[in-house]
Structure 1
Amino acid sequence: MWGDRAREFLTPSVFAGPITDPVPVFLTIMAIMLVAPLLFERVRLPGIVGLILAGVVVGSYGIGVLERDSTIILLGTVGLLFLMFMAGLETSLDDLKYNADKAVIFGIATFIVPMALGTVAMLAIGYGFLAAILVASCFASHTLLALPVATKLGIMRTQAVTATLGATLITNVLALLVLAVVVQAHQGSLSLGFWLFLIPALTIYTFATLWGVPKIGRWFFRRFGHDEGAEFTFVVATLFVVSYAAELIDIEPIVGAFLAGIAITQLIPQLSPLMNRIQFIGNTLFVPFFLISVGMLINPRLLVSDPRSLLVAGVMIVVALVAKFVPAWGSGKLFGFQSSGIMVMFGLSVAQAASTLAAITVAFQIQLVDQATVNGTVAMILVTCIASPWVTSRWGQGVKVEAANPTSKGRTKQVQQGFAAAQNLRVLVPVANPSTEDNLLHLALILTKKTAGTLLPLHILPDKQGTIAPEAKIQQSQLLATAETIAHAAVTAVEPIGRIDDSVDKGILRSALERDANLIVCGWKGFSTYRENFFGSAIDNVIRRATVPVLIARFAQPIENTHRVFLAIADIEKSASTFGQTVSLAKSLADELKASLQLLQVTASPRKHTSFNPEELGLSPDTQIQQVRGNFIGRVSKMLQQDDLLILTAGTHPEIIGLPALGVAPEAIARSHPEISIIVIHFPQRS
């Protein structure tokens, strides 16, 4: 019996044509997804190239194991939309705002130059006008294939990289709009009525996506943020709703997928478990389906036998390299960048993958371009995908050296010190309440993962009564297991700690010492009773005795819903030695939460305020900084907004009996604003 089943499994695939049984089809594709990237990465080639070439081998133009049927097309389309969606996730409106002038100049240059050179080159080898423009738009767009290289080098916040990120938004959107117009023209639908419909519809659609999706998303995450499955489903549903809406106004769905990514990235911290799930599912399942399906379109025999295919491939490769180097060199020189910065701009912008594959796939489906163009596109992708990571890695080292030697003095050095800029941070997080555990862990994960550190979730069972109930031990195991799961979902090192100790505060302090923690993150109800102030609550005792910084957090809503990080300080705090660390923490949280950052200095003195210099604090020039005079509690309370994350510093004299260890101001603000999330930072007093 088993021999017959084996023959049924093998015979169709090896001897009688393509596999049709769904199980072997899926098994074959899974094997390709596993083996192809591993083999190509072993020879230092991008895994994307391996998946495309594997599609060539198993497709109907190769050995014919798989047929590009409706199932492959369906999953490939989903993968295409996911690919564009994740490209949008990598592009933030804040990146465009951060270096707006440089991003706009480079974005326009890296669109116009490839469009001009590409159109002329394709017309010269016999392409029609529409086909030439469409292929040229493929040269104009680019995929941030080498972004992980820049992340690994630690140069993501350099001007060369941020300018390229902003330029990516501009050139990709323009290229996709060119695609939409060319498709309409090819189908004979390009008329005055089309433009009268397209421009208002596209304006309304873009506004509704970039404004409406974040609004709806914040409401959804605030209402259902505790359900991780619902969060992921909402994100995926948003992708397909926005993509389908684009199709309704005669725009390619890939434009909608890209805009959906830009809109939704404002709501999801880059290092959060949700973002990790999206990228994991997309990169390991859906996108490989698309890449394999594209490979199945390629006819390698035509590339070898048809001289025109070789000509098309050669022209496309040369134009792609030249058309991306020229704007990078010209813009870089205009901005005053060194050669390493210019080459990083070129390396990041030269890769052709996502938008290029999307556009050529659409064009081939409507028979605007032929098989030779598809083959030439794949050859171009192969060359640029090899060149992009190599160039970025080779010259990114120079940018890293330049970034490590800042020209600004004074406080810039101070801002870069402390736990917020440390490496391998070990963050201790006591967990006791399942309803507040998620936010505390996410806060700790932001700091831990950013520094490649380790999360130390801690649960303490006090043994004051001598015996520990079995139910308490079970709850301890469950809480720590949940914390460990969240950390693993965010791909973060974790060391769960279950402990029995005299008291909660002693257990926290002893665990911090034993496990070499350099930061403690504690939950807080937002107030303390007079009895707790006099005798000392667990939080008070931790603050008074801790030898490492302590973050005390009260979250009124999911941390992902933060719209503004609001740092409020008094005059005396500005001159403190730890002020730089406080600003650095606020900036890190704002960057990670995709939130705006505002600084408020409140002084009771009528004398003239000393001004802030954003660049000396390591902040962008457009950071909102305000200085006011008056009562600290009153001034801060008036400026608070919904979805704020307020950051305060603890009192300077936590040892005074009868007063809250955090100080009077944090408790007063927390009591009067229960709807506001608050983080209070305490630094140990140095003797």
Structure 2
Amino acid sequence: MYLLWHTLETILAPEQSSFWVVLPLAQLVKEPTTDPVAIFLIILTIMLIAPLLVERLRLPGVIGLILAGVIVGPHGLGMLERDSTITLLGTVGLLFLMFLGGLETGLDDLKRNAGKAITFGLATFLLPMAIGTAAMLPLGYSLLASVLIASCFASHTLVALPLLNKLGIMRTPTVTATLGATLIVNVLALLVLAVVVKANEGNLTLSFWLFLIPSLVIYTLSVLWGVPRLGRWFFKRFGHDEGAEFTFVLAAVFVTSYLASLIEVEPIVGAFLAGVAITQIIPRLSPLMNRIQFIGNTLFVPFFLISVGMLVDPLLLIREPRSLVVAGAMIGAELISKFAAAAGSARGFGWPFANGMTMFGLSAAQAAATLAAITVAFDIGLVDELAVNGIIAMILVSCVLSPLIVSRWGGKMQEQVAMADDNAPLDSPLVALGKRVLVPVANPDTENNLLQLAIILTKRVQGTLLPLHVLADGNGPISASSRMTQRQLLDTAEDIAHAANITVETVGRIDDSVAWGVIRASQERDADLLICGWKGFSTYRENFFGGVIDNIVRSATIPVLIARFPQPIKNTRRIMFALFGKQAQAADVETTLDVASTLAEELKAPLHLLHITTSAYHGNYLASLLEGKEVLLQQLQGNPIKCVSATLQPDDLLIIIASTYRRGQSVLGRLPELIVSANWDSNIIVMKFPVS
């Protein structure tokens, strides 16, 4: 090895290879741009053009952003300097990238795939550590230096994460396990960095461990417990201000990231935990989630990818030929170890080869976390410049390969998911429910929650939202103020639907009465579901002569969902579907259960089915209905009102089916009103089906 090294040093010495070093590109631009407007213009131009160009070559757009960063950076054309501004924007992009990864990883998903995430996380950490250390020791590096360099191989950055959303495989068990493994491996790699630095300084004492481990545990639990509760309080108080909601999310990301740095943990760990915490309180199909993903994927994350490209110096390997050996060893060790960990884990889990390759592609990319670690090591003199050059070369190769691998093998995973959906049983009566959802809007205070509910049920089947406002003529002309109110309500509804990327058709109508306007609009617009707001009670006059809700429900030929939301729907922590007596044998239960399951999935809330009877129930209908579903069944005997009130918790969403009624009662029956009266601050949905 020494002879090989000496031969390379003699033959490829810098003074003998200087004729190789030509920088034709850098000569085109004498000074990097300093004008802030020009800098932002160049970056935005790259964001627009680079992905389009490489996608025409059937390459992922992520590669175009990285390569564009190489071209315009200080080692290319020299148009942009990687100064504090670019570093700031790149750091924001990295934190947002990790935040988006956490946002797509709910605690329930992590719990379901915890075993696989831990297994893959340990495998993709230990194998690179072992292989990397073994590869660096023969090159003359000390044990501490070899271990630290190997930790750079172990950590990874989810550069290809934006591709998963496009492929529609973000929430598959494979990706969830990989995201969980990312958290584990990055924490372990950063712990190795901290330990090696302290060992090199001779300060690896008991006090270091007594500070780091408890503080990390307390920090993690505090974020996962505190952020959701603070978010629910904030959304409850300021839920009508969309700008404040988005600002709160950004603040949560950067506060948790900064707090992580205070306990000597990388901020990216804090950003990921913030995503895991916040995803519990933001529905996946909500306008707020759509805004977060849109801003992140189109602005912040591209900043990070461009900044990574600006770090790469392609001519460095020519100027320092000896780094070819180091870079080759690093690249080989990193790719081999990551592939072995991913392929072995996927095989052990019984997953197809495409899943293993997708895991490999996601875990192969190295970027800022790796650079941060090697920079610290270089600053304290633990590694030399050759190691830094080799790490940069490894970053370039891994960042180009990662999107290519994910794009190809993730596409095969997408085909598997599509085939599974096609082969799924189509016996659910709710398959078409939500194609065209009519939502009468009349109260600005309740409009947002009703539309959020409609969006969840509509978007899953790519349906159309139909916001409706009816003006009753009352045998007289409609005032200008009434028309203006109608227009404002419908405009607000349209904005909310567009923010959630939902097809929307607003309906403004003048009719004899509000109730008949709603019924006629539902028939004319071919609606298959009607969602109405409800105050929670009815007067004696309404019971005898019929209120708006009563008249709508009596005349509707489609299912009617009556909702009352004293609390924001996004604050829901549990879905409680209550059945009473022989309702458990009704044909409409399965439809309502599908609605409840959809809401539970999108609101990331567990679904509980509460069956209340006055005597022992021995039917097998519920057991067969719940087979294969993640539903907790609880059977109680006694008074329905008392049973529901004793079981209902704050931030629960109660779903019931309207029962029969007698003249002089609300068309929904007495039970919903009695439940609301006993639980005034609880959200409730009442399903009413037309009599067949």
Distance apart, 1:100 and its partner CA? 3.5
Partner of 2:254 in structure 1? 240
Q: 1:401 Cα deviation (Å)?
A: 2.5
| Change in 2 beyond 3 A, CA 1:613/1:78 | same
Q: Does 1:530 align with 2:550?
A: no
Matched, 1:496 2:506: yes
1:681 maps to 687
The question of whether the paired residues in 1 share the 8 Å contact of 2:159 and 2:402 is answered with no
- Trace 1:630-649 onto structure 2 (pairs within 5 A): 630-649=638-657
Q: In structure 2, what is the equivalent of residue 583 of structure 1?
A: 593
Q: How much has 1:679 moved relative to structure 2?
A: 0.9
Secondary structure of the corresponding residue to residue 266 of structure 1: coil
Residue 72 of structure 1 is matched in structure 2 by 86
- Equivalent residue letter for 2:368: L
The 1:543–1:599 alpha-carbon spacing in structure 2 relative to 1, beyond 3 Å, is: same
Displacement of 1:39 after TM fit? 1.6
Deviates further, 487-496 or 356-365: 356-365
Residue 109 of structure 1: CA displacement? Answer: 3.0
- 1:487 deviates by 1.2
Identity among equivalent positions (%) equals 57
2:8 matched residue in structure 1: none
Matched, 1:458 2:472: no
From 436, 441, 445, give the equivalent of 1:431: 441
Q: Which moved more, 1:394-403 or 1:510-519?
A: 394-403
The match for 1:287 among 291, 301, 307 is: 301
Partner of 1:440, secondary structure, is helix
Aligned to 2:286: 272
1:59 paired to 2:59 = no
Q: Return the offset for 1:658.
A: 2.1
In 2 relative to 1, CA 510–608 (structure 1 residues): closer, same or farther, beyond 3 Å? same
Correspondence for 1:389 among 388, 407, 420? 407
Aligned CA distance change for structure 1 residues 474 and 608 (closer, same or farther; 3 Å): same
CA–CA distance in structure 2, aligned partners of residues 503 and 309 of structure 1: 81
RMSD: 2.9
Distance in 1 between residues matched to 2:635 and 2:102, nearest whole Å = 37
SS across alignment from 1:300: coil
Alpha-carbon contact 1:155-1:403 (below 8 Å) kept: no
CA distance in 1, matches of 2:422, 2:229: 39
Greater mean deviation of Cα atoms: 177-186 or 556-565 = 177-186
User: Could you tell which deviates more after superposition, 370-379 or 119-128?
Assistant: 119-128
Whether contact under 8 Å (1:313, 1:379) holds in the other structure is no
CA distance in 2, matches of 1:606, 1:186: 70
Q: What is the Cα deviation at residue 432 of structure 1?
A: 0.8
Residues 40 and 155 of structure 1: CA distance in aligned 2, closer, same or farther (over 3 Å): closer
Query: Aligned in 2, Cα 1:183/1:32: closer, same or farther, shift over 3 Å?
Result: farther
Residue in structure 1 matching 2:122, options 95, 98, 108: 108
Moved more, 433-442 or 529-538: 529-538
User: 1:167 Cα shift?
Assistant: 4.0
Summarize deviations over 1:384-440 as a string: whole Å, max 9, x none.
21111210212442354345446xxxxx764xx233x44872221111100111111
**Contact 2:534–2:563 (Cα < 8 Å) also in 1:** yes
Counterpart CA distance in 1 for 2:349 and 2:376 is: 41
Find the aligned partners of 1:422 and 1:138 in 2 and give their Cα distance. Answer: 50
Distance change >3 Å, CA 91–CA 395, structure 1 → 2? closer
Contact 1:244–1:253 (Cα < 8 Å) also in 2: yes
- Quote the residue 2:12 is aligned against: none
Distance 1:110 1:32, change over 3 A: same
Q: What is the distance in 1 between the residues matched to 2:406 and 2:478?
A: 59
1:113 CA displacement: 3.1
Aligned to 2:46: 32
Q: Return the alpha-carbon distance in structure 2 between the equivalents of residues 312 and 448 of structure 1.
A: 55
SS at match of 1:521: strand
Partner residue of 1:83 out of 62, 73, 97: 97
Tell me by how many angstroms 1:362 deviates. 4.6
Please tell me the residue identity of whatever aligns with 1:58: V
Matched, 1:299 2:313: yes
Q: Give the SS at the match of 1:548.
A: coil
Aligned-partner residue type, residue 43 of structure 2: I
1:86-485 to 2 correspondences below 5 Å = 86-124=100-138, 128-142=142-156, 159-182=173-196, 190-303=204-317, 306-307=320-321, 309-311=323-325, 314-316=328-330, 318-337=332-351, 339=352, 342-352=353-363, 356-364=367-375, 367=378, 369-402=387-420, 404-405=422-423, 414=427, 417-419=428-430, 421-422=431-432, 425-485=435-495
- Deviation at residue 601 of structure 1 after TM alignment: 0.8
Amino acid in structure 1 at the alignment position of 2:596: A
**In structure 1, what is the Cα distance between the partners aligned to 2:486 and 2:328?**
64
Q: Summarize the Cα distance change of 1:34–1:150 in structure 2 as closer, same or farther, 3 Å threshold.
A: closer
Deviation of the 1:47 alpha carbon: 2.0
Q: TM-score if structure 1 supplies the norm length? A: 0.89
**Residues 596 and 25 of structure 1: is their aligned pair in 2 closer, same or farther, counting only changes over 3 Å?**
same
1:528-563 deviations in Å (ceiling 9; x for gaps): 112212222221222222222221110011111111
1:552-598 CA distance string (max 9 Å, x none): 11001111111111111124222222222222221211121122221
For 1:46 and 1:615, locate their aligned partners in 2 and report how far apart those are by CA, in whole Å: 43
Give the Å deviation of 1:141. 4.5
Q: Partners of 2:292 and 2:193 in 1: how far apart?
A: 27
CA change 1:612–1:18 in 2 (3 A) is same
Instruction: Say whether the 8 Å CA contact 2:105–2:171 is kept in structure 1.
Output: no
Give ranges in structure 2 of 5+ residues lacking alignment: 1-25
Deviation at 1:626, TM superposition (A): 0.8
Q: Return the alpha-carbon distance in structure 1 between the equivalents of residues 141 and 29 of structure 2.
A: 40
Does the Cα contact within 8 Å between 2:157 and 2:368 map onto a contact in 1?
Answer: no
Distance in 2 between residues matched to 1:87 and 1:158, nearest whole Å: 13
CA–CA distance in 2 between the matches of 1:283 and 1:157? 17
Cα distance 1:320–1:580, how it changes in 2: closer, same or farther (>3 A)? farther
Q: 1:137 to 1:568 in 2, by over 3 A?
A: farther
Relative distance call for 1:316 and 1:443 in structure 2 (3 A) is farther
Paired with 1:426 and 1:179, the residues of 2 have a C-alpha distance of 55
The answer to whether the 8 A contact 1:427-1:448 is kept is yes
- Of structures 1 and 2, the larger Rg is shown by 2
**Residue pair 1:13, 1:19 contacting (<8 A) in 2 also:** no
Q: Which amino acid aligns with 1:376?
A: M
- Corresponding residue SS for 2:315: helix
User: For residue 98 of structure 1, what is the amino acid of its counterpart?
Assistant: R
Alpha-carbon displacement from aligned partner over 1:103-124 (angstroms, at most 9, x marks no partner) = 4334433433343334334445
Q: Please tell me whether the aligned partners of residues 609 and 633 of structure 2 are also in contact (alpha carbons under 8 angstroms).
A: yes
Cα shift at 1:329: 4.1
Bigger shift: residues 535-544 or 384-393: 535-544
What does the per-residue CA deviation read over 1:496-527, in whole Å, with 9 as the maximum and x for residues that have no partner? 11111122222222222222222111111111
In the alignment, is residue 572 of structure 1 matched against residue 586 of structure 2? no
CA distance in 2 between counterparts of 1:537 and 1:353 reads: 63
Q: 2:311 aligns to what SS in structure 1? A: coil
- Residue aligned with 1:661, SS: coil
TM-score when normalising by structure 2: 0.88
The 1-side partners of 2:199 and 2:290 are apart by 40
Q: Once structures 1 and 2 are overlaid, which stretch shifts more, 157-166 or 567-576?
A: 157-166
SS in 2 for 1:451: coil
Return the offset for 1:127. 5.1
2:573 alignment partner, one of 563, 568, 579: 563
Which range moves more in the overlay, 325-334 or 508-517?
Answer: 325-334
Partner Cα separation in structure 2 for residue 109 and residue 511 of structure 1: 59
Task: Quote how far apart the aligned CAs of 1:196 are.
Answer: 1.4
Any unmatched runs of 5+ in structure 1?
1-11, 407-411
